[in-house]
Structure 1
């Protein structure tokens, strides 16, 4: 995925983070790339599928969270002098409803309605039961 194909705009991300120089551009571009790859996976999108622009806000917010966690990776909780910091186990947790809604609306939650066969060895037959 090239930089031009990202849903998250580097300048918008820098504005959200209040960064004015280009010093962190390489890091921010990597965060954007990884965030969008993770969201593609969560949405069930192939690499060739177009990224849904309506979920661009998820990518942007997760990029901000990811940047703010640098140097504190894996921290579940931190307290010092009355200040407490806690990170979610996943940066996408707060957007789970949005992601699942998009998947349902776009046919990405298709589940197989197969049959389960139970065999009673004493009866001599089988019985099909729908889930």
Structure 2
């Protein structure tokens, strides 16, 4: 995952590895809480990669919701996980066991 993130960011070498590992760790922890799991399923690991790239690119702009300089404007979502909420909800719904019902024959 680290190498994928470095490739997406155009980073070479290992000078930013500790920072990226911290971002990966924090993102993974948050996703586990949102999913209600101990381990992030492989099929949703792309969320960690994509959010890690977003968080890396926002370093120095933490806490801002928007920024404008000389006609260029940037704005950020309240939560990094908002674009992935449908996937998170779908995974959680698929993991729920159906309620046991009662069948009655008349």
Shorter chain as denominator, the TM-score bin is 0.7 to 0.9
Moved over 3 A (4+): none
2:29 is the alignment partner of 1:22: no
Q: What is the DSSP-based 3-state SS (H/G/I as helix, E as strand, rest coil) of the residue aligned with 1:55?
A: helix
Once residues 63 and 92 of structure 1 are traced to their aligned partners in structure 2, the CA distance between those partners, rounded to angstroms, is 11
1:41 maps to 2:33: yes
Q: Does 1:61 align with 2:71?
A: no
State which structure, 1 or 2, has the greater radius of gyration over its C-alpha atoms: 1
Query: TM-score w.r.t. structure 2 length?
Result: 0.88
- For structure 2, which runs of at least 5 residues remain unmatched after alignment? 100-106
**Aligned counterparts of 1:81 and 1:87: Cα–Cα separation in 2:** 18
Cα distance per residue 1:34-63 (max 9 Å; x no partner): 0000000000113xxx32000011111111
Task: Quote the Cα distance in structure 1 between the aligned partners of 2:32 and 2:69.
Answer: 37
Could you tell me which runs of 5 or more consecutive residues in structure 1 were left unpaired when the two chains were aligned. Answer: 1-8, 112-131
CA distance in 1, matches of 2:45, 2:9: 16
* Counterpart for residue 127 of structure 1: none
Equivalent position of 1:85 in the other structure: 74
Deviation at 1:81, TM superposition (A): 1.2
Instruction: Tell me how many residue pairs correspond in the alignment.
Output: 99
More strand by share: 1
- Give 1:105 deviation, angstroms: 0.7
CA distance in 1, matches of 2:21, 2:28: 11
Query: What is the rounded CA distance, in whole Å, between the counterparts of 1:10 and 1:60 in structure 2?
Result: 8
Q: Name 1:5's counterpart in structure 2.
A: none
2:88 is paired with a residue of what secondary structure?
Answer: helix
